[in-house]
Amino acid sequence: MAPTRTGIIGHPVAHSLSPLIHQHWAAQLGLDCAYHLLDTPKSALREQVAALRAQPWRGANVTVPYKQAVLPLLDAIDPQAARIGAVNTILREEGRLTGFNTDAAGFLENLQQSAPQPLANYLAQVVILGAGGAARAVAFALHDAGARHITCINRSPEPAQALAQAIGHGSAPWAQRESALASATLLVNTTSLGMRGKPALPLDLSLLPVTALVHDIVYTPLITPLLGAAQARGNPIVDGLGMLLYQAQAAFAHWHSVTPPVTAALRTALIEAMA
C-alpha cells in the first residue's frame, strides 16, 4: 500500500520545519506516511488543491500566502476556521476536502503548556499586536478561552477594528501601543517584526506590569528582541516554537487519528535545524 501522503502548500516552503516535525512523529509512531513540500505559485493553487482530492492524499497544511485564498477552493470549512477566516489544515475524506484552523488551538495549547501559572491568571487584560491571519487565530482562541478584555492594535487601524468587532472586544491606535500595556496581563506579538531579517518591534515595555506574560509567535530567532527585553525586566515569556509544534500536533491528529507527543527532544531537533 502507498504511504499516507500529506504535505504543505505555500510559497515559498523550502525552509518549512513541518516536514521534520511530521516525519519525526511518523517514525516515532511507526506510521507509513510521507510529508511533501508543495511549493505552489499563485497561478497553480487551484490545481494543487484539486490534486489533493485524489488518493493517496490525506490532506495538507496551508501556509503563507494562501491561508485565506484557499477557503473558496475547499468543499467544507470547519466553523472555527470560518470564523477566523483562515485555513492551515486540509483533511481529505472520501474525496471531499475540509478546511480547519489548528493555529488557534495550537496557540492556546502552547500557552497553557508553557505559562508559569494557569492561563486563566493571564486573561484579564490582553493586548494583541498585529491583525493579520495569525492575529485572528490568536484573538478568537483567547476570546473563546475566556479573556475578559482584549485590545487589538495594528499599524493599519482597519484590520484591528474589524478583528475587535468580530470578537466583541476593543481596539486602540498603533500610537497608543505603549500606554495600552499599563494594565496588561498578557501581551502577544503576532506581527512579523522581530523575525530574522526584519526590524525589531518598536515597543517600550516601561509601563508593562512585570507579572504580565509576554508571548511572541515569531520563532526565528527563538528569543526575539521583544522577548529579550521582556525577560531582562523580569516578565515571564513564551517563545513561538511551541505554537508551531502544537498546530502541527492538531493537524497530525486530524490526518492520522492519533495525537503525537510534543517532546523536549523534538523541540531540540527543531532548534538545531533552525541554527
Task: Tell me how far, at minimum, the Cβ of 177 lies from ligand ATR, in Å.
Answer: 10
Based on CB atoms, which residue is closest to ligand ATR, 63 or 114? 63
Based on CB atoms, which residue is closest to ligand ATR, 33 or 224? 224
In the annotation, is 42 catalytic? no
Does 155 contact ligand ATR by CB under 6 A?
A: yes
Strand partners, 97: 92
All residues at 6 or more sequence positions from 42 whose CB lies less than 8 Å from its CB, including other chains: 11, 65, 69
The residue range among 70-78, 188-196, 235-243, 252-260 that interacts with ligand ATR, by the rule CB under 6 A, is 188-196
Ranges of beta strands (E only) in 64-141 are 76-77, 89-93, 96-100, 125-129
Place of cell 466583541: 168
**Set 67, 83, 169, 177: catalytic member:** 67
Task: Tell me how far, at minimum, the Cβ of 134 lies from ligand ATR, in Å.
Answer: 3
Does 156 contact ligand ATR by CB under 6 A?
A: yes
Task: Tell me how far, at minimum, the Cβ of 65 lies from ligand ATR, in Å.
Answer: 8
Distance between CA 173 and CA 67 in Å, rounded?
26
Q: Are 141 and 86 contacting, i.e. CB atoms less than 8 angstroms apart? A: no
Based on CB atoms, which residue is closest to ligand ATR, 112 or 161? 161
* H or E element at residue 171: strand 170-173
Does 190 contact ligand ATR by CB under 6 A?
A: yes
Task: Tell me how far, at minimum, the Cβ of 148 lies from ligand ATR, in Å.
Answer: 23
Distance between CA 234 and CA 212 in Å, rounded?
9
Q: Is 70 exposed, middle or buried (0-12, 13-18, 19+ CB in 10 A)?
A: buried
Based on CB atoms, which residue is closest to ligand ATR, 183 or 192? 192
Distance between CA 151 and CA 129 in Å, rounded?
9
In the bound complex, which residue of the shown chain has the CB atom lying closest to ligand ATR? 132
Based on CB atoms, which residue is closest to ligand ATR, 99 or 133? 133
How many CB atoms neighbour CB 221 within 10 A?
16
Q: How far is CA 84 from CA 34, 136, 222, 236, in A?
A: 29, 6, 26, 28
Handedness of CA 77, 81, 87, 88 (dihedral sign): negative
Per-residue contact string for residues 84-123; x = within reach of ligand ATR by CB under 6 A: ----------------------------------------
Does 133 contact ligand ATR by CB under 6 A?
A: yes
The residue range among 10-18, 52-60, 150-158, 250-258 that interacts with ligand ATR, by the rule CB under 6 A, is 150-158
Does 193 contact ligand ATR by CB under 6 A?
A: yes
Does 192 contact ligand ATR by CB under 6 A?
A: yes
Task: Tell me how far, at minimum, the Cβ of 222 lies from ligand ATR, in Å.
Answer: 18
All residues at 6 or more sequence positions from 268 whose CB lies less than 8 Å from its CB, including other chains: none
Q: How many residues bind ligand ATR (CB under 6 A)?
A: 14
Q: Which residues bind ligand ATR (CB under 6 A)?
A: 130-135, 154-156, 159, 190-193
Could you give the residue numbers annotated as active site? 67
